[in-house]
Structure formats: structure tokens, C-alpha cells
Structure 1
Amino acid sequence: MVEKALFTNTLVALPTGLGKTFIAAVVMYNYFRWFPEGKIVFTAPSRPLVTQQIEACHNVVGIPQEWAVDMIGSNSPSDRSVYWKSKRVFFVTPQVLDNDIQSGDASYDIC
């Protein structure tokens, strides 16, 4: 599944505990290495899941913590604006991503 996800649009539907996070982490890590100027956005539907996913991605494949940030509603918009310019891997809720796109902080030229 990882190989397929690396090279084509892929939807992975598996029960809890069977590797969705592992697949996502490996794909993200490869894109992180292949595109050194690129940005990666991982969305999760709730704050606890955002926190869980960033920890899993650091532990599974070792995405460097200095390049990643979890941006949940508790981050101020001004802090998030700085992160969009200085970080490469973003773990966000859909609402935070939508808010930052609407405000122009997460524009297509930096995401």
C-alpha cells in the first residue's frame, strides 16, 4: 500500500490498528526527503487525533521535530502565520487549515 500511495492518489480504508498512520508516515517522510523545499499537511478531525498523529509520525519514521508543528485551535493566528513560513510538516484540524487559508496565512505559494 505504501508503494501505491507514493505514486498515485490513494484512499486507504482499514480498521483501527492496522497501519493507516504507518502508511501516511512513510509517505510523508519520503516526500519530506524528496522535496526539500516542499510542505506537507496532515489533517485529523480533532485536536487529540492531531496530537496522536504527530507523535506517531515522529516515532514511526523520525520526521525531524524541528521541521514539524501541530497547529490546533490553541495556537494563536499570529503564531500559525509564522509556522506556515518556517516549518515544513503541519498537523492540523480541517477548521484551522480552512481558517488559515481564508486569512491568507496558508496560501498556495507556501503550502
Structure 2
Amino acid sequence: MTESKDTSLSWDDFMKVDMRVGTVVSAEVFEEVRNPAYKIKVDFGELGILKTSAQVTKLYTCEELIGKQIIGVVNFPPKQIANIKSEFLLLGAVGESKEITILQPERAVKNGLRIG
């Protein structure tokens, strides 16, 4: 029998995660990485345009991503991935075959709105 860990979050813990809505303004194949990924730039409104690397190549083309609104965590410290500094985490659901379905708002909203 495995021991379960308490993974409960307090409301204060949840509020530390700064999730925002943004719109993809550019996407290109990230050739310098081992696993297939895209370099993506997203407009988060008043927070500006932030970049990331995302392994979403199984379900999306670069062309399909441009203009799509997404949800991103914007308060992680920057992380070096090959030759770019990732400035946010693009959120998605991980399927059985490790394909990522991007989380997005149900309707268009203003860039930079906080998820809560």
C-alpha cells in the first residue's frame, strides 16, 4: 500500500500562481531542442510579449497557433531552454500519448486578464 501525501493547497498558495490570458503572436519550429517543440511569443497585454518553448507539435501547426488565446503561468523564474529564455509556462492537458491540448478561454477576452 502506498502512502498518500497531502497535496492540499491553501487559497494563499493558489493565489501565488499568476495565470493570465494571452494571444499567440508568433510561432516557429524550435530546431535547437531534442524533443519537437515550437518557440512561441504571446501578448499578455500590460505584461507585454513573453516567449516560451512548448511541446505542442502533435496537435498544432505554427499557423494554427497564431491568433489563438491561451492560458499561461507568468510568474515562474525564466528558464533557459537551448538558445531562448522561457518566460512563462503555456498550460495544457497531457493526453495518453503525451499530446498536449492547449487550455484556452471559452470566448475571446482581453489579454492579460488573470485566471482565478
TM bucket normalised to smaller: under 0.3
- When you count helix as a share of all residues, which structure comes out higher? 1
- When you count strand as a share of all residues, which structure comes out higher? 2
Instruction: Give the TM-score normalised by structure 2.
Output: 0.23
Instruction: Give the TM-score normalised by structure 1.
Output: 0.23
